[in-house]
Amino acid sequence: MQVAVLNGVNLNALADRDPELYGGLGLRELENRIYRWGRELGLQVRCLQTNHEGQFVDWCHEARTWAGGIILNPGAWTHYSYGIRDAVELFTVPVVEVHLSDLAKREEWRQHSVLEDVVSARVIGKGPEGYREALVHVLEHT
Ligand code: DQA
């Protein structure tokens, strides 16, 4: 099965963001781990990252044609992008929302996700391992 892993705004700068929150891991290393976990689970994973909301929406639409499961971390868009919410709502396959940091322990505005009621599952505050958990969820729900 093919799985799309879509990372959004500012995730390209992961290595330079607060290591207390994000662990100091770069996007390339994060994606390498996700590809390795995917192989171990027998999944064909494709990781994409963009800082452009329209591109993220386009990838969501395209993924409807090829992916059997979706994992997404839209970064700050999570908290306000109804455009991304509307795109996510179109998926008919399992969709897992992942956040590296523990949103419950951060600013109040991060505690609301416009996606939470249109995704199949959420994995929050588990660092990179959260993506592995999301892959397992996708595998077990298709
Ligand atoms: C994040 C949490 C968001 O609030 C933040 O804007 C991010 C990353 C996370 O993975 O913890 O960019 O989605």
Model confidence pLDDT, tens digit, residues 70-119: 999 999 999 999 999 999 999 999 999 999 999 999 999 999 999 999 99
Q: How confident is the model at residue 142 (pLDDT cuts 50, 70, 90)?
A: confident
Q: Is 22 a catalytic residue?
A: yes
Q: Which atom of ligand 1 is nearest to the CA of 10?
A: 12
Domain containing 64 equals: 2-140
Domain count for the chain = 1
> What amino acid occupies position 139?
L
Residue 131 is predicted with a pLDDT of 98
Task: Answer whether 76 contacts ligand 1 (Cβ < 6 A).
Answer: yes
Query: What percent of the chain has a predicted confidence (pLDDT) above 90?
Result: 97
Q: Which of 22, 82, 131, 137 is catalytic?
A: 22
The answer to whether 75 and 7 have CB atoms below 8 angstroms apart is yes
CATH code of 69's domain: 3.40.50.9100
Q: How confident is the model at residue 23 (pLDDT cuts 50, 70, 90)?
A: confident
Q: Which atom of ligand 1 is nearest to the CA of 77?
A: 6
Please provide residue 2's backbone torsions phi and psi, each rounded to the nearest 5 degrees: -95, 135
Nearest to 56 by CA among 14, 120, 19, 5: 5
Q: Would you say the C-alpha torsion 126, 112, 77, 96 has a positive or negative sign?
A: positive
pTM: 0.97
